[in-house]
Every structure is written in C-alpha cells, then in structure tokens.
C-alpha cells in the first residue's frame, strides 16, 4: 500500500471511530475507544511524516536531475557559438538589464561578459544560441574563447584605423609581434614592459593583445574566466 493509500485508509478508520462515538458504551469501553483512536492517530502521524520525507527526497532528486541536465562549460566549448557578421550578433545580443535578469549576475559581470571582453574588436558570438542555451553565462564565456581562438576577422574592426593604410601598423602595435615575449602559454603571454618590469597579457591565438591579465593569480584567473580561457598551469596547477 503506498503512502497516499495508507493515509486514505487511516482517515477512513478515524472517520469510523468518530461515527462510533455516540455508541461507545454499547461496543467498547471509553478507554478502549480512546486507545484505538490514539493508536490510529500515531499511525497517521507516522505515515504523514513518511510522506513529507518522501516528498523531500523527491525534491532533492528532481533538483539533482535538473543540475545534471544543465549544460556545462565544456559542453559549450564543443559547440559552434559564432556567427559570420557582427550585425548578426548584435541583433540578438541582450542589453545589460536583460542579461542580468536572465542570468542573475551583477552589473559588473554583465558589463564584462557583454562588452568588456570585446573592446574594439568585433563581437561575433551567436547570442541567439547563447541566450537559449540554458546557461547564458557559460555559453557567452565559451563563445568568447572560441572567437579569440578562431580565424574570423574580429581584430580591432571598430578602431578608427580599421580599413585605413595605417591599420597594419596599428594592429602590429597591439600584437605580440611588437613586444618582447618572455613566456607564452595558450592565451596568456608574459611580456617585458617599460622599466624592465613584466606583465601578463591575455592574447588571442593570433597574438592580438586583449588586455592586461593582472598581476596576481586571482586577477589572472578572473580574466581567464571572463574570456573562457584556460589559466591552469600558469601558477603550477595540474
């Protein structure tokens, strides 16, 4: 007998006890009736407790299943989340409020994921897919990493020199080709800066310098998270 059926059965028994109250003297002593009623009440409480526990377990299972079904960052990395033109991307790109409402991120993360990681480059991320993905934050991060490791034309397309005769020089000045590179690993490069200091930069696969990655592990890992890059190994992680 399942929980619901057990509850129904006990309720019917209690109703029968209730109906028998006027005739207690004819069939059983008042003490007998009281004991039977008490026993049935205890059973009902136990069944109800079991029902509550079963509901809690079912809720936990449903939550676990929902979490398991949520696409992961690695899942998005294996998908094509790029479009051919920036016009296609911008037409579907949400504004900050829409992105915040859809994801629950704060204004800082929304601004970074939507605009900060793009800067003067073209945004070629497929925002239709990203917003329909079930996890727009990780999808946007994966798309950003894909774009900066693709052969698409994104580099400085919103710079004032783009399309001008001076653009190759501007592009070179914004790339590792014009810097002294001390070390490079994936999308991060350590370069010599003015005064003999060194800086860690986030870079594209073509060597375009995207931004300073920071001077501490926390800052670099934050940059890696925003761009969908892999910073493992930079600080000795496996």
Q: What is the pLDDT of residues 71-82, one digit of tens each?
A: 899 999 999 999
d(CA 147, CA 51): 51
Cα 151 from chain centre: 27
Mean pLDDT for 193-197 is: 84
Q: Taking the C-alpha atoms of 191, 196, 197 and 199 in order, what is their torsion angle to the nearest 10 degrees?
A: -10
For residues 10-33, give the mean pLDDT: 53
Given the DSSP bridges, would you call strands 209-212 and 188-192 parallel, antiparallel or unpaired? Answer: unpaired
Q: How confident is the model at residue 40 (pLDDT cuts 50, 70, 90)?
A: low
Answering whether pTM is above 0.75, one says: no
Among 34-48, 51-65, 108-122, 193-207, the range of highest mean pLDDT: 108-122
Report, as an integer, the average pLDDT of 157-166: 97
Task: Tell me which residue of 25, 126, 141 sits closest to 74, measured CA to CA.
Answer: 141
**Across-strand partners of 188?**
185, 202
Whole-number Å distance between alpha carbons of 203 and 5: 65
Please report the pLDDT score of residue 234 as a whole number. 81
Amino acid 201: pLDDT: 98
φ, ψ at 49 (rounded to 5°): -65, -40
pLDDT on residue 193: 86
Residue 25 has pLDDT above 50, yes or no: no
Q: Please, which residues have CB within 8 angstroms of residue 191's CB and are 6 or more apart in sequence?
A: 176, 179, 180, 181, 182, 198, 199, 201
Mean pLDDT for the chain? 84
Query: 129 by DSSP, 3-state: which?
Result: helix
């Amino acid at each position: 007998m399942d929980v619901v059926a057990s509850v129904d059965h006990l309720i019917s028994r209690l109703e029968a006890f209730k109906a028998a109250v006027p005739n207690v003297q004819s069939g059983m002593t008042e003490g007998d009736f009281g004991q039977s009623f008490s026993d049935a009440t205890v059973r009902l409480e136990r069944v109800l407790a079991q029902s509550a526990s079963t509901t809690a377990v079912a809720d936990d299972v449903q939550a676990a299943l929902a979490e398991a079904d949520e696409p992961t960052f690695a899942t998005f990395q294996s998908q094509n989340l790029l479009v051919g033109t920036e016009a296609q991307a911008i037409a579907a790109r949400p504004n900050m409020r829409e992105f915040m409402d859809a994801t629950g991120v704060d204004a800082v993360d929304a601004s970074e994921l939507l605009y900060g990681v793009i800067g003067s480059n073209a945004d070629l991320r497929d925002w239709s897919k990203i917003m329909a993905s079930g996890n727009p934050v990780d999808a946007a991060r994966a798309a950003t990493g894909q774009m900066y490791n693709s052969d698409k034309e994104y580099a400085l397309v919103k710079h004032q020199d783009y399309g001008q005769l001076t653009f190759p020089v501007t592009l070179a000045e914004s790339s590792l080709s014009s810097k002294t590179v001390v070390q490079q690993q994936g999308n991060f490069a350590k370069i010599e800066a003015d005064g003999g200091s060194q800086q860690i930069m986030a870079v594209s696969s073509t060597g375009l310098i995207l931004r300073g990655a920071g001077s501490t592990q926390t800052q670099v890992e934050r940059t890696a998270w925003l761009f969908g890059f892999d910073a493992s190994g930079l600080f000795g992680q496996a």
